[in-house]
Structure 1
Amino acid sequence: MSGTTIVRDTRGYYCSQCRQRFSITTNNIGEIKCQSCQRVSSKFSSSPSPSPSLSAHSSPRLSPNSGPNASPGSGRVLCIDQCKNKFFPHLHRNSRSNPEITGSKLSSSTLNTNPSALSSSSSSHRSGQPRKRALLIGVTYKQWKYRLKGTVNDVKRIRNMLIDQFAFQKENILVLTEEEIDKELSPTKKNIQSSLKWLVENCRDGDSLVFYFSGHGLRQPDFDKDERDGFDETICPVDFLEEGMILDNDINSVIVQPLPKGVTLHAIVDACHSGTILDLVHVYDKVKRKWMDNSPPNGSWKHTNGGLAISISACEDDQMAADTTAFNGKEMNGALTYILVEIVKKHPGPTYGDLIDMIHETIDKVNNSGCGLSKVVRTMFNSKLLQKPLLSASEEFDVYKKHFIL
């Protein structure tokens, strides 16, 4: 079929359309049908197929300084989008269209149903069927000088992806942003803690849960000796300067440890220092292509109660995460969020291995092209986007056989 290419890389062959991998045992190659998407191709390539890419960057979601009194990075530096046609010719839209919303139309005043999922009983197991439930948090820090511009856009993109690609019901998606009028839906520390409990409340076999956070992330010294690097990772609520941060230990105890058998939790965290933000005991090493032990040195319990927890983080624990401008140079998005959503739209149901590979390939393309990077950004990131998204899990699995399905 036109447009389909069989691509060869270091691990063999795959279809450029669905990225299904397969073996070719003969050199006498004619037309080949992909057994996954049924597309036929006689074209072959040794180069990676195009993958969605960053269009430009701004400043990081945290300053290089870390610790309990560290301050996230200063104001955003917006760069002109010079590579949209190079990396996204098939996705280019007229600048007069709404660049922030794709797929489902969203209310301009709220991203929650009325009543919200937090107070509604609609997300309970009334039918006895497995449930899909999501908590999406985007923190702008409007009243602070280190405010972020892309976090609400991030939440909108993830919400649309859940609805359009994974059949989540709107009434089962809880959104916390500063745009919400209801004070219970503001991303304060208290509300985030309550919402995390709501996410896993009464979960049972077959349920699919999603936790998403876009905002500032920090590190602080580890005082209970359960971290291999000596630091706890944290997320910052809107009121963290007054109420404090939320530690990885707390997130693990609230949404990871209670997970019963048959329940799957996915966390996507687009923040600085977010690598092991769920304190999961296995971290995937992309270079070595194997799982590494991340269990606490002091023997603390960090496992689930039989369920499966999987986390995709914007960067490693000691790295910063950046925003990107999409399409027209005006809309801000977290780099991980933007890339992940575009990949899922173009390649539905990729394996976790292919998903992580494509995310890294996209960042490498941006680093190699250097397109649209301002002098300030080049200085802050040492001429490169220094973030390596990380995959971690509560148990090991074959990343090139298990598919990313929420």
Structure 2
Amino acid sequence: MLVNCSNCRTPLQLPAGAKAIRCALCHAVTHIAEPRNVPPSPYSNGAPPANPLQYSPSVPSAHGSKRALIVGISYKYSRYQLKGCINDAKCMKFLLMNKFQFPESSILMLTGNFDSTLWYFLKVGFFEERDPLRLPTKQNMRMAMFWLVQGCKSGDSLVFHYSGHGSQQRDYTGEEVDGYDETLCPVDFETQGMLVDNELNATLVRPLPRGVKLHCIIDACHSGTALDLPFLCKFNSYGQFAWEDHRPRSGAWKGTGGGDAFSFSGCDDGQTSADTSALSKVTSTGAMTYCFIQAIEHGHKTYGSVLNGMRQAIRNANTSSGGIGGGGVTTLIGMLLTGGSVAGGLTQEPQLTSANLFDINMPFTL
């Protein structure tokens, strides 16, 4: 259950039976006198809370018209550990600042470099007060996403980058054609659960007003439609693009409030994404993040050419090395079955989805 902080109105996750909760942002204590005073979950009606994350000195304030949230999770000291996600986060921040002029003060980083003691506290449900906002927990990711879209206006450019585990879970609403929702895995997903595509759509996509652009770069397994955007770009054998309609048969609205939302993802919903050193030859990275940055640096200037550049780089790596090995696959199933990383060849094809139909030869910029 979520309850708004009595001071800054930040949504806080209330443990079952708790009578009070301390806000990690402003440190105010909110007392719960009676159960009827606890407001319903902001997701009970599929919409984000009326009072999302308020700015505080520990959170970057919006600077100009550019704002970014970057999440990289290593799952260190667990059987799900990944090697390249923190590298991905650092490289994406460098790209945004140096290629697209995002001020450092407008970039919020949630990364998962934990020591063993802190990992223990996370596993048992307690948190140390060491910059708590920067931990990529489920609640912190929720608050950060609220921050990203809060108060956005025409002309703003928003970016959400995620590098970590992705998964799927059964869809009981009938909205998904394949019967599965796509999910992202916060560092505390074992106790707090995963972030489902329906919530990501409600939080990041639907609030966008006309004139705002959101770009999401999702480097995770099963991430093709992780934002539940209505349209998926496919290429035929002649290299021509065509849009597939992925709007739910139920008629549920998955678009924006007039703005534009685009998502580059690491693979199709049924595929896995690599955490590998085969591409950089130096250190581990997410294959998708590395190829996205490489496509930008190689001068690809349209949405279609960026997508093609990413796909070609992965094909070339598979051809030259006999498969993208040298690392693991960012899938929970693979980690559970093998007890570690999954080496060898990998088939992944980056995807592009959008809230609106558009010409993919349109210039790409953030």
Distance (Å, rounded) in 1 between the aligned partners of 2:292 and 2:199: 26
Which residue pairs with 1:154 in the alignment?
88
Q: CA deviation at 1:385?
A: 2.5
Whether 1:140 and 2:89 are equivalent positions in the alignment is no
- Asked if 1 retains the 8 angstrom alpha-carbon contact of 2:224 and 2:266, the reply is yes
Distance (Å, rounded) in 1 between the aligned partners of 2:346 and 2:215: 25
Bigger relative contact order, structure 1 or 2 (CA pairs below 8 A, ≥6 apart): 1
Give the counterpart letter for 1:149 in structure 2: K
Residue among 392, 397, 400 paired with 2:358:
397
Q: CA deviation at 1:373?
A: 5.8
Please state whether the residue corresponding to 2:251 is helix, strand or coil: coil
Distance (Å, rounded) in 1 between the aligned partners of 2:248 and 2:345: 32
Whether 1:366 and 2:366 are equivalent positions in the alignment is no
Give the counterpart letter for 1:325 in structure 2: S
> What percent of counterpart residues are identical?
42
Q: CA deviation at 1:165?
A: 0.2
Range that drifts further, 237-246 or 360-369: 360-369
Which residue pairs with 2:110 in the alignment?
176
Moved over 4 A (4+): 326-330, 371-383
Uncovered stretches (5+) of structure 1, i.e. residues with no partner: 1-116
Please state whether the residue corresponding to 1:331 is helix, strand or coil: coil
Which residue pairs with 1:187 in the alignment?
136
**Superposed, which structure 2 residues align to 1:1-400 within 5 Å?**
119=57, 123-124=61-62, 130-179=64-113, 181-287=130-236, 289-325=241-277, 329-347=281-299, 350-371=301-322, 384-400=345-361
- Asked if 2 retains the 8 angstrom alpha-carbon contact of 1:135 and 1:211, the reply is yes
Give the counterpart letter for 2:97 in structure 1: I
- Asked if 1 retains the 8 angstrom alpha-carbon contact of 2:67 and 2:158, the reply is yes
The two structures have a TM-score, normalised by structure 2, of: 0.73
Please state whether the residue corresponding to 1:310 is helix, strand or coil: strand
Q: CA deviation at 1:153?
A: 0.2
Q: CA deviation at 1:367?
A: 2.3
Q: 1:377 to 1:145 in 2, by over 3 A?
A: closer
Give the counterpart letter for 2:289 in structure 1: T
Residues 23-59 of structure 1, C-alpha deviations (whole Å, 9 max, x = no match) = xxxxxxxxxxxxxxxxxxxxxxxxxxxxxxxxxxxxx
Q: CA deviation at 1:376?
A: 9.5
Give the counterpart letter for 1:388 in structure 2: E
- Asked if 1 retains the 8 angstrom alpha-carbon contact of 2:325 and 2:345, the reply is no
- Asked if 2 retains the 8 angstrom alpha-carbon contact of 1:266 and 1:310, the reply is yes
Q: CA deviation at 1:214?
A: 0.3
Distance (Å, rounded) in 2 between the aligned partners of 1:170 and 1:289: 36
Distance (Å, rounded) in 1 between the aligned partners of 2:270 and 2:323: 25
Which structure's CA Rg is the greater one? 1
Give the counterpart letter for 2:249 in structure 1: P
Give the counterpart letter for 1:361 in structure 2: Q
- Asked if 2 retains the 8 angstrom alpha-carbon contact of 1:118 and 1:195, the reply is no
Range that drifts further, 139-148 or 268-277: 139-148
Query: What is the Cα-based RMSD across aligned positions, in Å?
Result: 2.5
Give the counterpart letter for 1:162 in structure 2: L
The two structures have a TM-score, normalised by structure 1, of: 0.66
Distance (Å, rounded) in 1 between the aligned partners of 2:276 and 2:56: 31
Give the counterpart letter for 1:304 in structure 2: T
Which residue pairs with 1:11 in the alignment?
none
Give the counterpart letter for 1:150 in structure 2: G
Residues 127-179 of structure 1, C-alpha deviations (whole Å, 9 max, x = no match) = xxx51000000011113112111110000110000000000000000000123
- Asked if 2 retains the 8 angstrom alpha-carbon contact of 1:218 and 1:233, the reply is yes
